[in-house]
Amino acid sequence: METRTGLQIRFWGVRGSFPVPGPDTAGVGGNSSCVEMRAGGHLLVFDGGTGIINLGRSLVGANGTRTMRLFLSHLHHDHIEGLRFFAPFYDKAWRCLVYGPHSGPDEFQRALHTTMEPRLFPVSLNDLQAKIEIRDLPKSDRLVLDGEPGVCIETQHSQAHPKFGVQLYRITCGSRSVVYATDVEATYGGFEDVVKFATGADILIHDSQYTDDEYHREVASKKGWGHSTVRMAAEAARAAGVGELIMYHHDPCRTDAEIPALEELARSVFPRTQAAREGLCITLD
């Protein structure tokens, strides 16, 4: 997926919590979180769940840039578990800039090194052949990339996910913008900082893991787990006045057969909605 102008989005992993390969999930896809974006000739990747493995295979076999920027929302396993098998990391021709949330001096770097330390994985981060640069992000930041049209990545740390929070990203290319807001518990009407950050975006990619019943039931409620219901995501999209909502981070127990009814529920609140599926491509000219 190569573009020099405009903004292109491709979904490589759309599940939350853990990957779920199998016949009941093959249509929507069973890989965990990973989204590729091409903006003004720049390769941007958001999260490194198992979806990044197939993305990596496609990148090393293609012509084009050998520089990529990977933006991690946070360090829970379903957002980093594919990194150890990401093919460009093993290729000396690649330059990989990895961004993630700051939680203390060198904490982000140490956490990534820990996932590949010898007791857990046979290849250490220092053994990888690519030129890898790890950069932690402040609570809010703005990264402007060279080229035409102008590309800007804005980031904001949100407390809408338990313990350490989550990093939100807003990608602007020319006059078009996309917000990546996974692992947020929106509350009804939308989590305030998420809605403010996403206001007016062309596309909002928003956590939509649970049903109303799963969130509100008395026994084994998902309330406080850091994820939104489908209805919450739709209400957040409506409050932010975005152009389109993409339901993302589907529950691993959600089968292909269940997704269309949840799309219809979301559309009853915010009509311009679709569920993320592996292989889904969206182009904003």
What residues does each domain of the chain span?
7-280
pLDDT tens by residue, 102-142: 777 688 999 999 999 999 999 999 999 999 999 999 889 99
CA distances from 6 to 46, 58, 65, 147, 285 (A): 18, 21, 16, 12, 4
pLDDT at 1: 58
CA distances from 87 to 52, 123, 257 (A): 9, 13, 33
What is the torsion angle, in degrees rounded to the nearest 10, for the CA atoms of residue 72, residue 78, residue 80 and residue 82?
A: -130
Angle at CA of residue 189, ends 201 and 157, nearest 5°: 60
Region 7-280: CATH code = 3.60.15.10
pLDDT-flagged residues of the chain (< 50):
3
DSSP code of residue 258: G
**Can you read off the two tokens belonging to residue 122?**
């046979």
| Helix count and strand count (H, E) for the chain | 6, 14
Detail the DSSP E strand segments found in 80-150. 95-101, 131-137, 140-145
Q: What are the two backbone dihedrals, phi and then psi, of residue 129, each rounded to the nearest 5 degrees?
A: -90, -25
